[in-house]
Amino acid sequence: MQTVQVKLAERSYPIYIGKNIWSLLPQKLQTVLPLTTALLVSDSNVYPLYGEKISAALTAAGWRVTPAVVPAGEGSKTLARAEELYTAAIKAGLDRSGTVVALGGGVVGDLAGFIAATYLRGVPFVQIPTSLLAQVDSSVGGKVAVNHPLGKNLIGAFYQPKLVWIELEVLRTLPRAEFLAGAAEVVKYGVILSESLFSTLERHWQDFLSQEERLLAQVITECCRLKAEIVAADEREAGQRALLNFGHTLGHALEAATHYDYYLHGEAVLVGMMLAVQLALRQQLLAPAAGGRLLELMAKLGMKPAPPALTAAAVLTALQQDKKRAGTKQPFILPVKIGQADIFANIPPMLVSSVLQEYLN
């Protein structure tokens, strides 16, 4: 089992990563939390696969576990669903020493983290991410939120978990499209932060896709280590944490313009990353050979074609509503070489429109 530490002074926490490590969970939890009541938040896809097993293991170790299962999908990231979970927590007798455990992908982690941050002004929180995307990105770093009808993740907090438990075995049951969507975030770390991770992925891509055990553990551990470093340096995204939004500017706009029901998050991010490489190439911020390598690896993930009715105008309107927009300028995170990216505030709107149009055509 590998351990990565997120170093945030008194809010520091461990991330444990390994295959078939379930049996160690109760013991590791007890090193960071008192034995009390746990609200086990999961969804209708994941709970039937792993919920009973985790609930039984925690109960055997002395926890009082109350499961709370929400419907699978982005539609559960709402204040209404959060209110149902508060009710479940009250009925379960969860007090300030109680713990919210998130068992699922990004939606469950964000929703459960949001209620943990707000219920009784904050109770301890544990992440057990079951999608590749949640394992390498959303479960680490404390971004928790629900959606508002006018936009995604508009109501939330920075609220760090006490522990993150990454069981690699669960990726075996993950649908292939979900694995590839998570792999886009894995590639992202290589592009923006680590030439060596990027080359490992280039050299061993097939082994990574077939989830070769040692490589998978090595790659996921490296992604968590890179993210932990960024979060430790810039927890609240005042500076370099924004680099993690590489591909997300246009990615979010594509998701919003298609009403969050066409792309998986990672699929939209992949398109956003490929368009960002095009922007960097056209602005001569990135050497053509490096751009070629980036696009070649990204293409292996399978860029999802745009839906036929989607227009550039709709995507650009969604882009203007991006909550990360600084004043009237839309910042873009663009690669400048393999393993390094920067934030650029002056990318000509005509250029953005033109690379977008090429994708839509």
DSSP three-state, residue 282: helix
236 catalytic, yes or no?
no
121 catalytic, yes or no?
yes
Segment holding 340, helix H or strand E:
strand 340-344
Smallest distance from ligand GLY to CB 48, Å: 28
Instruction: Count residues near ligand GLY (CB under 6 A).
Output: 5
Smallest distance from ligand GLY to CB 224, Å: 12
Catalytic choice (169, 212, 235, 237): 237
Instruction: State which residue, 94 or 102, has the beta carbon closest to ligand GLY.
Output: 102
Write down the residue that tokens 């992202």 correspond to.
Answer: 188
Catalytic choice (248, 255, 267, 304): 248
Catalytic choice (77, 188, 227, 304): 227
Q: Which of residues 134-173 bind ligand GLY (CB under 6 A)?
A: 137, 141, 143
Smallest distance from ligand GLY to CB 143, Å: 5
- Please pick, from the candidates 28, 204, 241, 300, the single residue that binds ligand GLY as defined by CB under 6 A: 241
185 catalytic, yes or no?
yes
Q: Which of residues 118-137 bind ligand GLY (CB under 6 A)?
A: 137
Instruction: State which residue, 39 or 228, has the beta carbon closest to ligand GLY.
Output: 228
Catalytic choice (81, 188, 252, 304): 252
204 catalytic, yes or no?
no
143 catalytic, yes or no?
yes
| Burial (Cβ within 10 Å: 0-12, 13-18, ≥19) of residue 350 | exposed
Give 3-state DSSP helix, strand, coil % of the chain, rounded to 5. Answer: 55, 20, 30
Smallest distance from ligand GLY to CB 241, Å: 5
DSSP three-state, residue 183: helix
Cα gap 276→247, rounded to integer Å: 6
- Please pick, from the candidates 244, 256, 286, 352, the single residue that binds ligand GLY as defined by CB under 6 A: 244
Among the residues of the chain, which ranges form H helices?
A: 25-32, 52-60, 79-91, 106-118, 132-133, 176-193, 195-203, 205-209, 213-233, 248-257, 265-282, 288-299, 312-320, 349-360
324 catalytic, yes or no?
no
Cα gap 144→111, rounded to integer Å: 7
Instruction: State which residue, 46 or 244, has the beta carbon closest to ligand GLY.
Output: 244
Instruction: State which residue, 19 or 77, has the beta carbon closest to ligand GLY.
Output: 77
Q: Which of residues 38-97 bind ligand GLY (CB under 6 A)?
A: none
Among the residues of 151-264, which ranges form H helices?
A: 176-193, 195-203, 205-209, 213-233, 248-257
Smallest distance from ligand GLY to CB 56, Å: 32
φ, ψ for residue 77 (rounded to 5)?
-85, 60
227 catalytic, yes or no?
yes
Cα gap 228→119, rounded to integer Å: 26
Catalytic choice (19, 143, 188, 225): 143
**Sign of the four-CA dihedral 110, 19, 270, 233:** positive
248 catalytic, yes or no?
yes
What distance separates the 2 farthest-apart alpha carbons in the chain?
61
Instruction: State which residue, 28 or 241, has the beta carbon closest to ligand GLY.
Output: 241
Catalytic choice (45, 147, 222, 245): 245
> Residue with CB nearest ligand GLY?
244
Alpha-carbon distances, residue 209 vs 156, 216, 273, 332 (angstroms): 33, 9, 20, 29
Cα gap 54→79, rounded to integer Å: 26
Instruction: State which residue, 93 or 239, has the beta carbon closest to ligand GLY.
Output: 239
Instruction: State which residue, 177 or 233, has the beta carbon closest to ligand GLY.
Output: 233
Cβ–Cβ < 8 Å for 334, 236: no
Smallest distance from ligand GLY to CB 182, Å: 12
Structure tokens at 61: 């170790």
Residues that bind ligand GLY (CB under 6 A): 137, 141, 143, 241, 244
Active site residues: 121, 143, 185, 227, 237, 241, 245, 248, 252, 265
